[in-house]
Chain A
Amino acid sequence: GNSVTQMEGPVTLSEEAFLTINCTYTATGYPSLFWYVQYPGEGLQLLLKATKADDKGSNKGFEATYRKETTSFHLEKGSVQVSDSAVYFCALRYAGGTSYGKLTFGQGTILTVHP
């Protein structure tokens, strides 16, 4: 079945450091890929998405590129801020077959950014 694996956390960085959170997936067909962010006490917010190979999703300084050859969708940001502290989830959605709206999530990576 479909699955998503994220790098183990937590990740602790200083403000303005470079961020990478690794995400790899296993899926049949051609899934859409997403990064969601969750702040304390909140639901999930869509951060960015990519729907086909070589697509680059970007938002708020975050970027991720859909790499079919390595089945990866790593999240990057050039300079993190304290306000980026949150939990980040990589997810896939395979719209074919009986999967319809089901999102499959990674286990989440806790990011803490210190001033």
Chain B
Amino acid sequence: KAGVTQTPRYLIKTRGQQVTLSCSPISGHRSVSWYQQTPGQGLQFLFEYFSETQRNKGNFPGRFSGRQFSNSRSEMNVSTLELGDSALYLCASGDGQGTEAFFGQGTRLTVV
């Protein structure tokens, strides 16, 4: 069974640009969650999607948005990038019933 796939693995963007990250969950999983990992703030929850609906959202500005498609693949978008958005963005896949979550390898975003 394939794991969680995140693309791309690495990104370098300039301040003010926007970026889209992609996550393909484990086959059969309908829940996709996104997390931001930084040395200073640790792992912070961004949002969770289940069957194309956002069920939960963390405390991030509106520049951070996401969506989920009918095949459960999810994208996360960050507009008007700031230096502080440099981080490892992790996607987690689950069955949506509150059981364990399985993570992808992450996308390393660097904003210059």
* A interface residue numbers (CB < 8 A to B): 32, 34, 36, 42-46, 49, 51, 89, 93, 95, 98-108
Contacts and interface: CB of A to CB of B under 8 A. Distances in A.
Given A44-B90, A101-B55, A103-B92, A32 B98 contact: yes
Contact of A100 (B35, B48, B102): B48
B11 to A, nearest CB: 15
Main secondary structure of the interface of B (DSSP, over half): strand
A45 B92 CA distance: 10
Contacts, number: 68
A49 B103 CA distance: 15
Interface string B4-43: 1010000000000000000000000001010100000011
A89 B43 contact: yes
B99 A44 contact: no
Interface of B: 4, 6, 31, 33, 35, 42-43, 45, 48, 50, 55-56, 58, 90, 92, 94, 96-106
Contacts of B43: 89, 103, 105, 108
A72 B62 CA distance: 35
A102 B55 CA distance: 10
